Chains A and B, each alone.
Chain A
Amino acid sequence: MIEVRHLTKHYGDKHAVNDISFTVEDGEILGFLGPNGAGKSTTMNMLTGYISSTSGTALINGVDILEDPIKAKSYIGYLPELPPLYLDMTVKGYLHYIYDLKKCKLPRRAHLNEVMTLTQISDVQDRLIKNLSKGYRQRVGLAQALIGNPPVLILDEPTVGMDPRQIQEILSLIKKLGRNHSVILSSHILSEIQATCDRIIIINHGVVAAHDTADNLSKNVSADHRVLARIEGPREEIVKALRNIDGIRYCRADMEREPGVFEYELEAAPGYDIRRQLFDIVCEHHWYLLSLRSAELTLEDVFLKITMGEGIVLPDADKQAAAQTEEG
Chain B
Amino acid sequence: MGAIYRREIGAYFTSSIAYIFLAVFWTFSGWFFYAASLTAGTTDMSGMFQSLFLVIIFLIPILTMRLFSEEKKQKTEQGLLTAPVSLGEIVFGKYFAALTLYTIAILMPFVYAMIMSSFGHVEWGIVFANFLALFLLGAAFIAVGTLISALTENQIAAAVMSFVALMALYMLDLVGGLINIVWVQNLLKSLSFYTKYYSVTVGLFNVSTVVFYLSVAFIFNYLTIRVFERRRWS
Where the two chains meet, the residues of A that have a C-beta atom closer than 8 Å to any C-beta of B are: 45, 48-52, 70-71, 73-74, 76, 78, 80, 82-89, 93, 97-98, 100-103, 144
Contacts and interface: CB of A to CB of B under 8 A. Distances in A.
Contact of B79 (A49, A88, A103, A144): A144
A52 B233 contact: yes
B81 A50 contact: yes
B6 interface: yes
A10 B6 CA distance: 37
Top 8 closest pairs, chain A to chain B, by CB = A84-B79, A100-B3, A74-B84, A73-B84, A101-B3, A84-B76, A48-B82, A82-B75
Contacts of A83: 79
Nearest to B70: A86
Contact of A84 (B7, B75, B233): B75
Nearest to A99: B3
B11 A86 contact: yes
Contacts of B76: 84-86
B173 to A, nearest CB: 42
19 contacts: A45-B78, A50-B81, A51-B232, A52-B232, A70-B85, A73-B82, A76-B82, A78-B82, A84-B75, A84-B78, A85-B74, A86-B7, A88-B15, A89-B7, A93-B10, A97-B3, A100-B3, A103-B84, A103-B85
A49 B3 contact: no
Contacts of B2: 100
B86 interface: yes
A76 B84 CA distance: 9
A100 B6 contact: yes
Contacts of A97: 3, 6-7
A87 B74 contact: yes
A80 B84 contact: no
Contacts of A70: 84-86
A93 B9 CA distance: 13
Nearest to A85: B76
A133 B83 CA distance: 25
Range class of the B interface residue count: 20 to 34
Interface string B2-19: 111011001100110000
A256 B232 CA distance: 62
B contact patch SS: helix
Nearest to B5: A100
Interface of B: 2-4, 6-7, 10-11, 14-15, 74-86, 232-233
Nearest to A51: B232
Contacts of A87: 74
Contacts of B6: 97, 100
Q: Which of A50, A76, A84 has the most CB of B within 10 A?
A: A84
Nearest to A148: B84
A78 B79 CA distance: 8
B11 A88 contact: yes
Contacts of A48: 82
Contacts of A51: 232
Contacts of B78: 45, 50, 80, 82, 84
A100 B93 CA distance: 13
A83 B76 CA distance: 7
B75 A102 contact: no
A155 B4 CA distance: 24
Contacts of A86: 7, 11, 74, 76
A111 B79 CA distance: 20
Nearest to B90: A101
A138 to B, nearest CB: 14
A98 B7 CA distance: 10
Q: Which of B4, B83, B233 has the most CB of A within 10 A?
A: B83
B82 to A, nearest CB: 4
A120 B47 CA distance: 60
Contacts of A85: 74, 76
A135 to B, nearest CB: 18
Contact of A102 (B84, B232, B233): B84
A19 to B, nearest CB: 19
B84 A71 contact: yes
Contact of B83 (A52, A88, A101): A101
Contact of A80 (B3, B79, B233): B79
B9 to A, nearest CB: 12
Given A51-B232, A86-B74, A101 B81 contact: no
A93 B82 CA distance: 20
Contacts of B83: 73, 98, 101-102
Contacts of B84: 70-71, 73-74, 102-103
A131 to B, nearest CB: 14
A89 B233 CA distance: 31
Nearest to B75: A82
